[in-house]
Amino acid sequence: MKKEPINISRRDFLIQSSTLGAGLSLGLYLPLTGCDNKGEQGAAQISAPDVPEVNAWVVIKPDDTVIIRIARSEMGQGTLTGLAQMVAEELECDWSKVTTEYPTPGQNLARDKVWRSFSTGGSQGIRGSHLYVRKAGAVARHMLVQAAAEQWDVPIGECQAANSVITHTPSGRSTTYGKVAVAAAELFPPELVELKDPKDWRLIGKPIKRLDTDDKLNGKQIFGTDLKLPDMLNAAIKACPVFGGKLKSFDDSKVKKMPGVRKVVEVDGYAVAVVADTWWQAKTALDALPISWDEGANANVSTASIEQMLDAGLTSSDKVFVGNEQGNVKNALRGAVKKIEATYRYPFQHHATMEPMNATARWTKDKCEVWCPTQNGEAALEATAKAAGLPITKCDVYKLHLGGGFGRRGAFHDFVEQAVAIAKQMPGTPIKLLWTREEDMAHGHYHPFTKCKLVGGLDKKGNLTGLHVRISGQSILASVRPQWMKNGVDMITFQGFHAEGDHAISYSVPNLLVDHAMRNPPVPPGFWRGVNINQNAIYMECFIDELAHATGKDPLAFRRQLMAEHPKSLAVLNAVAKKAGWGKPAAKGVHRGLAVVKTFGSHVAACAEVSVNSKGKLKIHRIVAATDPGHAVNPQQIEAQVEGSFVFGLSALLYGECTVKGGAVEQSNFHDYPSMLIKEMPKVDVIVMPSGGFWGGIGEPTIAVAAPAVLNAIFAATGKRIRELPLKTSQPQLV
């Protein structure tokens, strides 16, 4: 056992034990975040008053059921199960009796942020929580064992816990967690606990079945669109399609007598909503509602005008920020025997979650409650209070599972503010707001449109002596989180190009300059799964292939030459090359391409196998992927995440583009913003190779390597470079 001391201060103790009364709180009331089989939901409690809370994370029922509270959001990525595994590992409980529940951000504030961060993004769900949730499980286990030892009047060191059973080793006496939970809840937490050495883990690292699968399969799991509350009404909304536009006027006389319509309301001067008995009635009336818009200053913005702005940034010295600089690039390029140049383009893209934006709100002058799928319960609570015009202590948010997040439901809670604004105009009545797909497409926060010019210098031996990477495009932080910028620099723009850290470049280049010409069009940007590593991996990995081709070297050998100082990235690259059979003949007509990155703390690589037929049609046969996240909590979930991320990344490569005309996005639904089909999906072989010693992300890193690996394989097949995405606008096209 590896000792990890916990120096519990008075504040830490109060957080651990909760100061809702003397000692540890029993039976904390939490609003219900699940629903019964009929989809009905009200403001009931999850944990019954007679069920003891051992600590904020662990509630144990008399029948030994263990409820583990999860603050992070579940949106299909398996965070809920992974976090429960880590608590249960240290708790030494019976996994077959584990269930979970969400606390609310309101309760978190009331308890001095005992559950810490509710934010789920940036691949932080597991790696940002692992230490304190494991400690929570270890503390709860100690208290349960201590309670049993005191009942038996024996030294605690003579007692062991396993599978929710506590045994007094000398005598063989035993009891269960459920029988001592009440007594344990009355104890003070220990000042020191021991966390297991990774070699002793029995749950962490195992491919345990997800806790939420059954409810999703049998339809019991309730998402925001399924929610039903007593006396609930439904709302549909429409905002000005032009970015920055406002509502000028509407004529509700045309629709207010339509079936089911209860009210037509203005929403904060930029949108109008119809409230009706059913959502379809609301949507039908909204479609028939005469609306006039003030389109404002952005009515003439187009993809072409934005592209001109980015093109100028590729060579400009104005508003250029340095992200990584080593040596003297100008001298290196000036003295190069051979220079290679290329310019790449990556378009606006939409999150396109399967579940459109939605929230249900109930407002009174004394209380505002919101039920919604959110990646950040605390941000949703802040948005609720702002829109409600109430103190945050009089508001709360009840999280539901997400039908997709990808960053859209993290930093942005416009849908929550809208639901509350509508509910304020109908006090005491729950209002469920659901966006149409068309509204969702028109009012996203889009993956930035960027271009990148790369110039590489080679010496007479084909060694890379200098590299200049100029990114021209939008800054997400400048729009969304300006307080995160450093001296005007958006370091997130440089993911995969950093000198060190979670997003470090995987190559050693003696003379390197990576800079960013910040160009911010009026299209609202947002964090999109993987954020900037997606395009940066394409820029770097495809250009590395171009350099290898220019030197006549094998792309794997060329990379290896530059990666001697990056052993973990080299290890995943070697793993995919070996598994794919790099250097050995592929099947007739099949060609291979490589990509490798370090991002979100993990090292990932891919080898794609593709063919392009005589008509220029592409088939992606297989992608071999390797990931080293340091520790692998649930290998099966990691495999699923890699496969799912490839669907997302390849859809972006093949089809993903939002174009702008007249200040608005032209795409409106999946007919003109498609995802790849099941028949188009390649076989994916996943290599999970945790090397230990660090905690990397899972959900976002692997998305980045699929597209460049495929692009490099296309070059191997055709001899032609594709530098503009998506492939639907260029050859080859997918069969």
CA 645: distance to chain centroid? 11
Q: How far is CA 112 from CA 69, 100, 579, 683, in A?
A: 16, 21, 50, 47
Please identify which residue in the block is written with the tokens 């109008």: 272
Could you check whether the bond before residue 521 is cis, i.e. omega within 30 degrees of 0?
no
pLDDT value, residue 728? 80
- C-alpha 107/C-alpha 688 separation (Å) is 37
Using the Cα atoms of residue 687, residue 692, residue 698 and residue 700 in order, give the sign of their dihedral: negative
pLDDT value, residue 51? 75
- Dump strand ranges (E) for 347-498: 358-363, 368-373, 395-400, 431-434, 450-458, 464-473
Q: How far is CA 279 from CA 233, 423, 669, in A?
A: 8, 15, 19
- C-alpha 180/C-alpha 58 separation (Å) is 13
Render pLDDT for 322-334 as a digit per residue (tens, 0 to 9): 999 999 999 999 9
- Contact between 236 and 266 under an 8 Å Cβ cutoff? The reply is no
- Contact between 356 and 372 under an 8 Å Cβ cutoff? The reply is no
Q: What percent of the chain has pLDDT over 70?
A: 92
Q: Amino acid letter at 557?
A: A
Query: Average pLDDT in the 421-431 region?
Result: 98
Banded pLDDT at 47 (limits 50, 70, 90): low
Query: Average pLDDT in the 502-528 region?
Result: 98
pLDDT value, residue 673? 98
Render pLDDT for 108-161 as a digit per residue (tens, 0 to 9): 999 999 999 999 999 999 999 999 999 999 999 999 999 999 999 999 999 999
Query: What are the helix (H) ranges across 590-702?
Result: 635-654
Please identify which residue in the block is written with the tokens 């310019």: 343
- C-alpha 101/C-alpha 47 separation (Å) is 9
Using the Cα atoms of residue 549, residue 550, residue 552 and residue 554 in order, give the sign of their dihedral: negative
Banded pLDDT at 90 (limits 50, 70, 90): very high
- C-alpha 17/C-alpha 9 separation (Å) is 12
Query: What are the helix (H) ranges across 173-293?
Result: 177-184, 213-218, 279-288
Banded pLDDT at 734 (limits 50, 70, 90): low
- C-alpha 86/C-alpha 90 separation (Å) is 7
Please identify which residue in the block is written with the tokens 């995943």: 572
**H or E segment to which residue 621 belongs:** strand 617-628
Render pLDDT for 240-279 as a digit per residue (tens, 0 to 9): 999 999 999 999 999 999 999 999 999 999 999 999 999 9
Pairing state between β 320-326 and 512-518:
antiparallel
Please identify which residue in the block is written with the tokens 């992974």: 82
Q: Which two tokens stand for residue 190?
A: 């220990």
Nearest to 642 by CA among 582, 596, 688: 688
Q: Which domains does the chain have, with CATH numbers?
A: 2-218 (3.30.365.10), 224-296+357-434 (3.30.365.10), 303-349+446-734 (3.30.365.10)
User: What single string gives the DSSP state of each residue in 95-155?
Assistant: GGGEEEE---HHHHHHTTSTT---B--TT-TTTTTHHHHHHHHHHHHHHHHHHHHHHHT--
- C-alpha 393/C-alpha 201 separation (Å) is 40
> pTM of the prediction?
0.93
Query: Average pLDDT in the 448-474 region?
Result: 98
Query: What are the helix (H) ranges across 296-353?
Result: 303-313, 329-334
Query: Average pLDDT in the 202-206 region?
Result: 97
Q: What mean pLDDT value characterizes the chain?
A: 93
**Residue 2: pLDDT above 60?**
no
- C-alpha 479/C-alpha 728 separation (Å) is 30
Banded pLDDT at 368 (limits 50, 70, 90): very high
Q: Which two tokens stand for residue 241?
A: 């399609």
Query: Average pLDDT in the 628-641 region?
Result: 97
Q: How far apart are the first and last CA of the chain?
A: 55
Q: What percent of the chain has pLDDT over 90?
A: 91
User: What is the number of other CB atoms lying within 10 angstroms of the CB of residue 43?
Assistant: 14
- C-alpha 545/C-alpha 543 separation (Å) is 5
Higher-confidence position of 5 and 597: 597
Query: Average pLDDT in the 430-450 region?
Result: 98
pLDDT value, residue 699? 86
- By the 10 Å C-beta count (0-12 exposed, 13-18 middle, 19+ buried), 405 is classed as buried
pLDDT value, residue 15? 38
Pairing state between β 338-346 and 683-688:
unpaired
